[in-house]
Amino acid sequence: MSQKPVSAYAKAGGMAYFPRMLSKIRLHAVGELPLDYHANLGKGADGFCASFLRVQYDALTQHVLSGGTDDEILEWCFATGRRLNEDDLIVWNGFILKLGWNDPASRRLQKVKADAGLAHRDDIQTMPDFFDVDEGRKP
């Protein structure tokens, strides 16, 4: 049975989106991530997140699959890649929570909204908004 990943708005250690990326890794490993998510694992926002932390996505995946909480895995990322400070978190959260709003991802957002029959939804202005509507967390 497929399960949807957690919201992009969820945070670990103050970092938005990180729990979603880990959720997708875990769900994929147990065969519960919907097929339409598979092609983008490690790409798009996942890739941005890993790159921002300066960790390799494949190494992160292996670490996630060895166990640990989201906060413990984030601490591993800090030790393996780079430690984020409060300013870094402001920059990251400002970027990821507005992804698709007047930026290079805007076209992608319009396409996925149209493909999902949501092109008329002006309230969906970012990719995180789309995820929450598409995955049933928001009407």
Domain stop point among 87, 103, 122: 87
Round to whole Å and give the CA distance between 89 and 74. Answer: 13
The number of folded domains in the chain is 2
Residues 54, 4 share a domain: yes
SS (H, E, C) the chain: CCCCCCCCCCEECCEECHHHHHHHHHHHHCCCCCHHHHHHCCCHHHHHHHHHHCCCHHHHHHHHHCCCCHHHHHHHHHHHCCCCCHHHHHHHHHHHCCCCCCCCCHHHHHHHHHHCCCCCCCCCCCHHHHHHHHCCCCC
Instruction: Say yes or no: 73 and 114 in one domain.
Output: no
* 99 and 76, same domain (yes or no): no
pTM comes to 0.95
In this structure, are 107 and 44 located in the same domain? no
Contacts of 22 (CB under 8 A, 6+ apart): 12, 64, 70, 73
Same-domain pairing of 76 and 105: no
How do residues 42-56 score in pLDDT, each as one tens digit? 999 999 999 999 999
Distant-in-sequence, close-in-space partners of 21: CB < 8 Å, separation ≥ 6: 45, 46, 49, 50
Asked whether residue 43 falls in the same domain as residue 81, the answer is yes
| Span 74-130, pLDDT tens digits | 999 999 999 999 999 999 999 999 999 999 999 999 999 999 999 999 999 999 999
2 pLDDT higher than 90: no
Same domain, 23 and 40: yes
Do 58 and 6 fall within a single domain?
A: yes
Task: Provide the residue range defining the domain that includes 55.
Answer: 1-87
- Domain co-membership, 57 together with 102: no
